[in-house]
């Protein structure tokens, strides 16, 4: 719960959920939307990943320049963004701008 409480808005907590103990289930049932999830926080589970896998991945990610690609659309062009997702090869993310 502390991890969720301390996440910044838009943050993601990634947990390795290969097995769940009863105490873990109880903790998850105790999530409070306002305190733990509000402001676009999320919990993402991964399976079949070891600490070593994560360490190796982070070492590789740090060694290469990861440069995310985004394409921005005005909110009124949301349908164009959806059509691009449906009919064009997807590269990166589509972002809707709410204000200019």
Predicted confidence (pLDDT) per residue in 27-49, tens digit: 778 888 888 888 889 988 887 78
Which pTM does this prediction carry? 0.47
**Cβ neighbours of residue 18 closer than 8 Å, sequence gap 6 or more:** 47, 48
State pLDDT tens for residues 47-74.
778 889 889 988 998 999 888 889 999 9
């Amino acid at each position: 719960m502390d991890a969720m409480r301390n996440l910044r808005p838009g943050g993601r907590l990634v947990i390795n959920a290969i097995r769940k103990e009863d105490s873990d289930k109880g903790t998850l049932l105790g999530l409070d939307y306002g305190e733990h999830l509000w402001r676009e926080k999320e919990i993402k589970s991964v399976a079949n990943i070891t600490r070593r896998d994560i360490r190796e991945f982070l070492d590789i990610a740090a060694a290469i320049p990861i440069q995310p690609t985004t394409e921005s659309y005005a909110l009124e062009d949301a349908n164009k963004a959806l059509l691009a997702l449906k009919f064009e090869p997807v590269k990166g993310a589509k972002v809707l701008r709410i204000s200019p």
